[in-house]
Amino acid sequence: MTVPPTHTLCPNAPVPALPMEGLIGVIAPAGPAALDTHKAVQWMRARGYSLKVFPGVYEKEGYLAGSDEVRLNDLHAAFADPEVDAIICLRGGYGTPRLLDRIDFELLRNNAKPFIGYSDITALHLAISRHAGFVTFHGPLLNADLLGKRQQPTESSFLNMLRGHLKAGSVLAHPEAYPLTTIAPGIAHGRLLGGNLSMIAATMGTPYEIDAEGVILFIEDINEPLYRIDRLLTHLRLAGTLRKLRGVLVGDVAGVDVSSLDRLLKQAFEPFRIPVLSGWRSGHCDPNLTLPMGALVRLNAGRQELVLEQDVVIRR
């Protein structure tokens, strides 16, 4: 089945590409983690970049990386700083949703730049897409992924996407060592949006919930047994979200038996007759591929391809 493009699709705006010798800011909008600053600086320097660490990265308040005020100030400061070319999050965890109703989305929109993270950071991807309208990147965290030495193509996927090496028409490469599974064949055009399934469900009923109309939904998760994945998908179905989708790309669902997950995915999405492709290596996995949230893409589940249909960054 082919789900055709429609004039109502409104892709998010591309952001400036990460320039060579650029400055990357690191913030901690969710949970705390000890950062080896010397190691982080050396990692960036070896790839031609410098690093700016915002104050909240070094703070800890229980399960949060500093108070809400500190974490919010760092988010705003990183976007407002004209010298910062891209922003990467330290880690996920918990706490990002606490910031949503205090974010100055006009400030973010007026200073759009690559913003990278996953897991709890999903809340920011959804909110920025809905209220600021520019592409963000579901990609590696500084501590767990880049400094944690995730295997390739984690790093190359991240850098190629942000540097602008992938243009409209580019097929996003997927490592052959990790076979994909076609749950439902077909072709769909839409905005790629989503992230952590638990976080997507947690924002339902708020002004920051996923705007699912015309969307190819990307989902991933960790530490959720199969029955809870079922519950989360049922939540989205009962909320009317699934019927608005054009297709589904399923990333890593860590800790769940793959064959059991595939059966659940078929059962959950079959009534909607949309393409579904499973096994994409993005999320809490190694390697962890970067995906452009809010960008217009084409999903060919039968051929197991994901193709960019717009430039996601613009070189200055």
The separation between the first and the last C-alpha atoms of the chain, rounded to the nearest angstrom, is 39
- CA 226/CA 47 separation, integer angstroms: 40
Length of the chain: 316
pLDDT tens, the chain, 316 aa long:
544 444 356 789 999 999 999 999 999 999 999 999 999 999 999 999 999 999 999 999 999 999 999 999 999 999 999 999 999 999 999 999 999 999 999 999 999 999 999 999 999 999 999 999 999 999 999 999 999 999 999 999 999 999 999 999 999 999 999 999 999 999 999 999 999 999 999 999 999 999 999 999 999 999 999 999 999 999 999 999 999 999 999 999 999 999 999 999 999 999 999 999 999 999 999 999 999 999 999 999 999 999 999 999 998 7
DSSP one-letter string for 182-198:
EEE--EEEEEEEEEEHH
Max Cα distance, the chain (Å): 52
94 - beta bridge partners? none
Supply the pLDDT for residue 21.
96
Supply the pLDDT for residue 159.
97
CA distances from 18 to 12, 13, 245, 266, 294 (A): 18, 15, 31, 39, 18
Among this protein's residues, is 220 annotated catalytic? yes
Among this protein's residues, is 69 annotated catalytic? no
The model carries a pTM of 0.95
Residue type, 114: P
Supply the pLDDT for residue 132.
98
Supply the pLDDT for residue 9.
63
CA distances from 226 to 220, 229, 243, 258 (A): 13, 5, 22, 10
Supply the pLDDT for residue 10.
75
Supply the pLDDT for residue 5.
43
Among this protein's residues, is 260 annotated catalytic? no
Residue 278 belongs to what H/E stretch? strand 276-278
Per annotation, catalytic residue among 119, 157, 198, 278 = 119
Residue type, 178: Y
Helix (H, G, I), strand (E, B) or coil at 305: strand
Supply the pLDDT for residue 6.
41
Q: Which two tokens stand for residue 55?
A: 């104050």
Supply the pLDDT for residue 316.
76
- CA 2/CA 187 separation, integer angstroms: 5
Per annotation, catalytic residue among 220, 278, 282, 309 = 220
Contacts of 305 (CB under 8 A, 6+ apart): 171, 298, 299
* Spatial contact of 61 and 124, defined as CB atoms under 8 Å apart: no
Helix (H, G, I), strand (E, B) or coil at 143: helix
Supply the pLDDT for residue 40.
97
